[in-house]
């Protein structure tokens, strides 16, 4: 039982704010933290009551959830390559003949029949993908520590270190935890402010098939992943824990490690698997884990911590956001409860940076991409197997990567896309008789590309186009021509698939993807709901985007002109966007939308965000229609859906509406909708990390946009962010932007140019600076080239879609690579 004197607890937590949590030695005076570091501390005055209160640490490979329990500490462990099953692809060679039948039924407008045949023959036959699984738990028991005071538990995301501290029988105990980025081990340091007071028992446990042994001073857990849906488990892994004791002593056997009367106890823990890549599981997990452990064990805690910090902060410190005064006197869970009704904009700033923390901690250049739960999953089979759902969720994970200057962290996503371009060749060929590559709405560590879950959800063959959009965006942000060259064949393979499968629809002769779905959404409801369709708006936008990017890439790389010409011809035959009877952007080829439909997916708004096919300046009617659609969909939804809407309202230039959605998202989870758990994890519910990343991206999008021919400064600033500053956000064309504002007006602007070239700025205020010239003509910067969008089809009079553009000013600045331009604005 924990007895906490509240006022003392509060006092201590405030004192705690002033002390260093990383380099402190027991008994020595502790360094003061720089004030801004206090801004990034999640803290609590009690242990985690459940998994959604535990605090996440991770280095892309090892993940840990720190519970902070006093008597029996639990750190739930993950390793990014522990998945069920083994190398496989879930293809269905019997599907192909039925494809023609479904296409033909759709052409004949026999929708219910098309759905029935699709359900029967085009659904999953093998497996629906393998689950990502937990590794196990590290338990540390502190017998007797029952009645403690001055309890505090925190996660400092400026340092990527978690801490627990409390007082028991007049002794101050402290535990520090981090997952080293540089040495790939999990480190725990246990200290007390009096000598010889650290005694504990350390254990490893896993609900997976496992065996516990002890060799010398190592406690070793050998485990394997699960068999799942007819796939035999092929993953083998080892967790090894070893202690380093100062004062006192320790003994190790297969029942655990006992530490007696130490001054300090350090736990070094490593985890490794036999996974090499999606088709090779031939590595030796024990040798791998031992190698990491032996190398790290030679180093002292402070040395490891310093290297970890340096590596982490090289990413984290690239972006600084200040949205107002810090009010960290209340625990983070209380701040979440109050956020919607009180004024605490700094919590939005913390949430923004927490998203960056999570991406750095779950997606490292040599790791797997962040999955549905990043790298943190406490179950044998998490929600939706904790896989990669690629009809929104995986992409959303990577929305903040470019704009918040974490571009290197895309590497695992790009690797996965490259691998899918290999495995997806079989599904293109076997299931669709097509060249190129494709996948459906999910994949896993084995890079499966067949249909999962059922045709209603899974018969969506357009994920390749969406994933390829990330490749092109990476080029636009970084100007990395070599990268574009490397991935051009991957993009081309996706386009080849569509060249072969596009079908002529009967009413207009447009070329459409058929069969497909508008992700997970039905256009005929009821017991026999129908989702299977041809020419869903999202598909049209995605294929338009893919073809356009390839056409532009062939110009940049000066290659493949004939192929580009083919794509130009086909692009002209894709369906234009259509505005339906309610003034909405149609989700399907036919005008089937309902004004009261609040489905979580807003797929047809892909063109507004993350796509850039709908502009207030170039397509005002589509812009109004997209806005109408979003109003009809409503605000409150699942976590990731609200996060998407933050980005969409930012693109609709409505900062107050975007902020309203941030408030909806950062509120306690209810039965009706998503929200935020006490540990700041986004709730679908249950926990899904996409909403965290989507909200981080949305906040960036409110402050800076760069997709529509110019860099838009503070395009969607809400009233509540009256003053603030942001630095380090990236714009396309390699511009790094800093903005300071007060009374909602910019007073300082800085532009760092990595690539040089014309920098066109858009601002809602006049920027009275001599060196900024009023813009003339088109932006000559090639990274700002906008694609011509086909004229929309309007089913209501154009005047009903009128849009009053906000007053804004355009300026040009000619930049040299490597130079910073700073402006003080009157």
Chain positions contacting ligand FUC, by CB under 6 A: 372, 384, 389, 393, 520, 600-601, 638, 640, 684, 688
Are 106 and 437 in contact, with CB atoms under 8 Å apart? no
- What the block records as the tokens of 268 is 């070094």
Are 625 and 583 in contact, with CB atoms under 8 Å apart? yes
Q: Which of 420, 399, 155 is nearest to 278 (CA)?
A: 420
DSSP element (H, E) containing 241: strand 236-246
Please report how close the Cβ of residue 643 comes to ligand FUC at its closest, in angstroms.
11
Buried b (16+ CB within 10 A) or exposed e, 500-510: ebbbebeeeeb
Q: Could you tell me the end-to-end alpha-carbon distance of the chain, in angstroms, rounded to an integer?
A: 60
Neighbours of 314 (CB within 10 A): 12
In angstroms, the CA 526 to CA 528 distance is 5
Are 31 and 140 in contact, with CB atoms under 8 Å apart? no
Are 363 and 409 in contact, with CB atoms under 8 Å apart? yes
Bridge partners (DSSP) listed for residue 273: 237
Q: Which of 518, 514, 542 is nearest to 529 (CA)?
A: 518
The set of residues, in sequence order, having a beta carbon less than 8 Å from that of 367 and lying 6+ positions away, is: 60, 61, 80, 375, 412
Q: Which of 768, 715, 716, 723 is nearest to 741 (CA)?
A: 723
Residue among 393 and 679 whose Cβ is closer to ligand FUC: 393
CA distances for 21 relative to 12, 13, 155, 163, 332, angstroms: 14, 12, 10, 7, 18
In angstroms, the CA 69 to CA 47 distance is 5
Residue among 518 and 706 whose Cβ is closer to ligand FUC: 518
Q: Helix (H, G, I), strand (E, B), or coil: what is residue 398?
A: coil
Please report how close the Cβ of residue 384 comes to ligand FUC at its closest, in angstroms.
4
Q: 205: exposed, middle or buried (C-beta count within 10 Å: 0-12, 13-18, 19+)?
A: middle
DSSP element (H, E) containing 545: helix 537-557
Neighbours of 223 (CB within 10 A): 25
Bridge partners (DSSP) listed for residue 253: 256
Q: Helix (H, G, I), strand (E, B), or coil: what is residue 329?
A: coil
Quote the Cα angle for 671-207-141, to 5°.
90
> φ, ψ for residue 799 (rounded to 5)?
-65, -25
Residue among 180 and 449 whose Cβ is closer to ligand FUC: 449
Q: Which of 602, 628, 398, 629 is nearest to 519 (CA)?
A: 602
The strand order across the sheet containing 264-273 reads 41-44, 149-156, 161-168, 171-179, 186-192, 264-273, 236-246, 218-224, 209-215
Question: Which stretches of 540-597 are assigned E, i.e. beta strand?
Answer: 578-579
Please report how close the Cβ of residue 387 comes to ligand FUC at its closest, in angstroms.
8
What Rg value do the Cα atoms of the chain yield, rounded?
Answer: 27
Q: Helix (H, G, I), strand (E, B), or coil: what is residue 745?
A: strand
Q: How many CA atoms lie within 13 A of 50 on its CB side?
A: 7
Q: Which of 749, 768, 753 is nearest to 819 (CA)?
A: 753
Bridge partners (DSSP) listed for residue 203: 139
- What the block records as the tokens of 733 is 């064309």
- What the block records as the tokens of 21 is 């949590």
Residue 587 DSSP label: S
Q: How many CA atoms lie within 13 A of 725 on its CB side?
A: 11
Q: Which of 56, 776, 37, 10 is nearest to 374 (CA)?
A: 56
Please report how close the Cβ of residue 804 comes to ligand FUC at its closest, in angstroms.
35
Residue 114 Rama label (left phi>0; alpha psi -120 to 50; beta)? alpha
Residues shown for the chain: 826
In angstroms, the CA 411 to CA 396 distance is 15
- What the block records as the tokens of 714 is 């503070």
């Amino acid at each position: 039982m924990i007895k906490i004197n509240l006022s003392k607890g509060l006092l201590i937590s405030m004192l705690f704010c002033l002390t260093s949590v990383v380099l402190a030695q027991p008994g020595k005076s502790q360094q003061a933290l720089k004030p801004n570091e206090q801004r990034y501390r999640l803290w609590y005055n009690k242990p985690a009551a459940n998994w959604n209160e535990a605090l996440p640490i991770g280095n892309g490979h090892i993940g840990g959830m720190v519970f902070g329990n006093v008597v029996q500490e639990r750190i739930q462990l993950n390793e990014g390559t522990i998945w069920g099953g083994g190398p496989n692809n879930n293809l269905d060679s019997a599907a192909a003949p039925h494809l023609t039948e479904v296409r033909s039924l759709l052409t004949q407008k026999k929708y219910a029949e098309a759905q029935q045949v699709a359900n029967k023959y085009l659904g999953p036959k093998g497996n629906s993908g393998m689950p990502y699984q937990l590794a196990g738990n590290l338990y540390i028991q502190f017998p007797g520590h029952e009645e403690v005071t001055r309890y505090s538990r925190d996660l400092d995301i400026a340092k990527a270190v978690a801490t627990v501290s409390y007082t028991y029988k007049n002794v101050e105990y402290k535990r520090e935890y981090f997952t080293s980025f540089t040495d790939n081990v999990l480190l725990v340091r246990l200290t007390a402010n009096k000598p010889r007071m650290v005694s504990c028992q350390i254990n490893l446990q896993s609900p997976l098939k496992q065996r516990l042994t002890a060799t010398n001073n190592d406690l070793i857990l050998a485990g394997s992943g699960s068999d799942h849906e007819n796939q035999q488990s092929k993953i083998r892994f080892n967790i090894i824990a070893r202690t380093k004791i100062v004062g006192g002593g320790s003994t190790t056997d297969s029942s655990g490690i006992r530490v007696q009367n130490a001054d300090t106890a350090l736990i070094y823990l490593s985890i490794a698997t036999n996974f090499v890549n999606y088709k090779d599981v031939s590595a030796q997990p024990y040798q791998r884990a031992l190698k990491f452990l032996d190398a790290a064990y030679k180093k002292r805690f402070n040395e490891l911590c310093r290297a970890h910090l340096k590596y982490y902060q090289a990413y984290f410190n690239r972006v600084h956001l200040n949205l107002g005064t810090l009010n960290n006197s209340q625990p983070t869970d209380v701040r979440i409860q109050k956020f919607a009704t009180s004024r605490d904009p700094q919590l939005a700033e913390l949430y923004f940076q927490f998203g960056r923390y999570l991406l750095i901690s779950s997606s490292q250049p040599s790791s797997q991409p962040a999955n549905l739960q990043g790298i943190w999953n406490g179950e044998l089979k998490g929600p939706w197997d904790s896989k990669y759902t690629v009809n929104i969720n995986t992409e959303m994970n990577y929305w903040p990567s470019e704009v918040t200057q974490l571009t290197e962290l895309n590497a695992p996503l790009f690797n996965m896309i490259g691998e899918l371009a290999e495995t997806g060749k079989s599904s293109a060929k076997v299931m669709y008789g097509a060249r190129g590559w494709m996948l459906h709405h999910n994949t896993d560590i084995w890079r499966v590309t067949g249909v999962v879950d059922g045709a209603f959800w899974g018969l969506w063959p357009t994920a390749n186009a969406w994933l390829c959009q990330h490749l092109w965006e990476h080029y636009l942000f970084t100007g990395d021509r070599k990268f574009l060259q490397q991935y051009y064949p991957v993009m081309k393979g996706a386009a080849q698939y569509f060249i072969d499968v596009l079908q002529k629809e009967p009413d207009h002769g447009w070329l459409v993807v058929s069969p497909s779905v508008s992700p997970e959404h039905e256009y005929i409801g009821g017991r026999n709901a129908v989702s299977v369709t041809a020419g869903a708006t999202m598909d049209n936008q995605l294929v338009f985007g893919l073809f356009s990017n390839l056409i532009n890439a062939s110009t940049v790389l000066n290659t493949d002109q004939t192929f580009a010409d083919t794509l130009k011809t086909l692009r002209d035959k894709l369906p234009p966007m259509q505005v339906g009877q309610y003034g909405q952007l149609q989700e399907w080829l036919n005008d089937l939308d309902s004004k009261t439909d609040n489905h979580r997916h807003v797929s047809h708004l892909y063109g507004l965000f993350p796509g850039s096919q709908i502009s207030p300046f170039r397509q005002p009617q589509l812009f109004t229609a997209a806005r109408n659609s979003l109003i009809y969909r409503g605000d409150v939804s699942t976590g990731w859906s609200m996060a998407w809407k933050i980005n969409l309202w930012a693109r609709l230039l409505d900062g107050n509406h975007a902020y309203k959605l941030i408030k909806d998202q950062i509120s306690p989870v209810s039965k009706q909708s998503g929200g935020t758990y006490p540990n700041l994890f986004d709730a679908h519910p249950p926990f899904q990390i996409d909403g965290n990343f989507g909200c981080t991206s949305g906040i960036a999008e409110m402050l800076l946009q760069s997709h529509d021919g110019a860099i838009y400064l503070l395009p969607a600033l809400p009233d509540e962010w009256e003053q603030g500053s942001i630095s380090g956000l990236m714009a396309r064309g390699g511009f790094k932007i800093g903005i300071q504002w007060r009374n909602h007006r910019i007073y300082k602007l800085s532009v760092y140019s990595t690539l040089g070239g014309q920098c066109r700025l858009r601002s809602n205020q006049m920027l009275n600076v001599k060196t900024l010239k009023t813009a003339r003509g088109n932006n000559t910067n090639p990274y700002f080239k906008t694609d011509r969008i086909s004229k929309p089809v309007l089913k209501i009079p154009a005047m009903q879609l009128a849009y009053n553009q906000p007053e804004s000013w355009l300026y040009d600045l000619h930049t040299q690579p490597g130079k910073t331009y700073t402006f003080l604005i009157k």
